[in-house]
A = this chain, B = another copy of it.
Amino acid sequence: MCELLAMSANVPTDIVFSFTGLVERGGVTGPHVDGWGITFYEGKGSRTFKDAAPSSQSHIAKLIKSYPIKSEVVISHIRQANRGCVALENTHPFSRELWGRYWTYAHNGQLSDYMEKFATKRFQPVGSTDSEMAFCWILEQVVQQFGDIPPVDMQPVFEFIAQLADDVRQLGVFNLIISDGDFLMCFCSNNLSYITRCAPFGKAKLIDTDVVIDFDTETTPNDVVSVIATRPLTNNEDWYIMQPSEWKLFRLGEIIAEGCATKLSPSECQL
């Protein structure tokens, strides 16, 4: 499996604190040594740092920890390979352009019997992971549903993606984070949590390494920052543990829509 990390904020915010906890899971406190990646959006632009080396040993991860890049949307992933070998082309996050926006995606989980379902034409996988195939398939469905011009209201697009994610979930485990650089959606298959931080800010202590931050000294009273992670990253804050098939749509740090996309069993979804 893998570990996911994402952030949505209403002001450009650095994710160094959370990333510092995450990279420990890439070889120190966790077994996810098969590469890592992080995408930062800055306006409509984005940049992705990737490495097939373990995050805990990566020169580039060291740079990210020491050089705060401020961003309103971030998606990160550390990998423990199951489908697809250890290689740069199999390293998340994956990115494609659609509607003049860069869409970025990362997946935690494993799927089975997906080859036929995920056959695509316009969006083709470059690597050999189930994850990238699912991403291409999702974008292909989005274009088929909404056409070549994006709708003015993007919320239905993400609701549609949540339904698709629940469909994919029937093939295995499919915890998903996806963004167009403005909206950030997460879908829980079995393992996803988040926290929304706003004033009054307090101190937070990482679980995976001995680092404490006082957000009060790092923020202004108007800041709103949500962090999503496979497992909570701090041990003195209340993280919300998501339920299977639950999805949350964030924009500028806040949840703007949420729901339960289950087709499996309504009793699974306990919002």
Contact B125 A46 (CB under 8 A): no
A:162-183 near B, CB below 8 Å: none
| B122-A122 in contact (CB<8A) | yes
A148 CB contact (under 8 Å) in B59, B60, B96, B121:
B121
| A45 partner, pick from B45, B88, B101, beta carbons under 8 A | B88
Complex CA distance for A42 and B88, rounded to whole angstroms = 7
Chain B residue numbers with a CB within 8 Å of A46 are 88-89
Q: Which of A16-24, A47-55, A256-264 has 4 or more CB atoms under 8 Å from chain B?
A: A47-55
Q: Is the CB of B127 within 8 A of A89?
A: no
Pick from B48, B49, B125: contact of A100, CB under 8 Å:
B125
Within 59-75 of A, Cβ neighbours of B (below 8 Å) are at 59-60, 63, 67
* Least CB separation from A100: chain B residue: B124
**Cross-chain contact B47 with A48 (CB below 8 angstroms):** yes
Contact of A127 among B45, B47, B67, B96 (CB under 8 A): B45
| B-chain residues with CB within 8 Å of residue A60 when the two chains form the complex | 63, 67
List of B residues within 8 angstroms of A148 by Cβ: 121-122
A residues at B contact (CB < 8 Å): 42-52, 59-60, 63, 67, 87-91, 96-102, 121-127, 148
The 6 closest A-B pairs by CB, nearest first: A45-B88, A45-B89, A100-B124, A44-B89, A42-B88, A47-B50
